[in-house]
Amino acid sequence: MEEKNRYYVVTKKAVPEVLLKVVEAKRLLESAKASTVQEAADMVGISRSSFYKYKDDIFPFHDNAKGKTITFMIQMDDETGLLSDVLHIVADYHANILTIHQSIPINGIASLTLSVEILATTGDISAMMQDIEIQCGVQYIKILARE
């Protein structure tokens, strides 16, 4: 059986330099200070392949996440009640659901895009993601955006 992702919060000093440079390159691209991945990679001193290897796996954790919106993409089996179970987990963590979009299932797999607002009462987002990911029928979860 495939092992599910686990999420950790670590201090900056424990993160390898290449990962910190990937975060910086992503920031340069998002702020339009770099117009291409190659330009951003050159500016921070990493290879383009290092950027692509880690870009989906590292992002800054902001202590001021309260009041922010996080958008998740979840791939899950087309099973009765699974969407309800996922939404129940979000409710248990006291996050406010802003939008839900579920695609028509193809080959028994549905893609769900879920945007949630992080409230002052919202629990640990990493734990929420992990609780969703371990649900039977959830194949994949990824943070698409943090606003």
Report the b/e string of 76-100 with b at 16+ CB within 10 A.
beeeeebbebbbebbeebebeeeee
95 and 142 share one domain? yes
Q: Specify the higher pLDDT residue, 65 or 47.
A: 47
80 and 130 share one domain? yes
Q: Domain for residue 20, yes or no?
A: yes
- How many structural domains compose the chain? 2
Q: How much is the average pLDDT of 95-118?
A: 94
pLDDT of amino acid 63: 46
With a cut of 70, say whether residue 7 has pLDDT above it.
Answer: no
What is the spatial distance between Cα 22 and Cα 49, in angstroms, rounded to a whole number? 11
Q: Domain for residue 80, yes or no?
A: yes
135 and 96 share one domain? yes
Does the pTM surpass 0.75? The reply is no
Angle at 133 between CA 126 and CA 55, to 5 degrees: 65
Q: Specify the higher pLDDT residue, 56 or 19.
A: 19
Domain range for 50? 12-54
What is the spatial distance between Cα 17 and Cα 58, in angstroms, rounded to a whole number? 12
Q: Can you name the residues that pair with 116 across neighbouring β-strands?
A: 70, 97
pLDDT of amino acid 31: 85
For 53-87, the pLDDT digits (tens) are 998 888 765 444 567 888 999 999 999 999 999 99
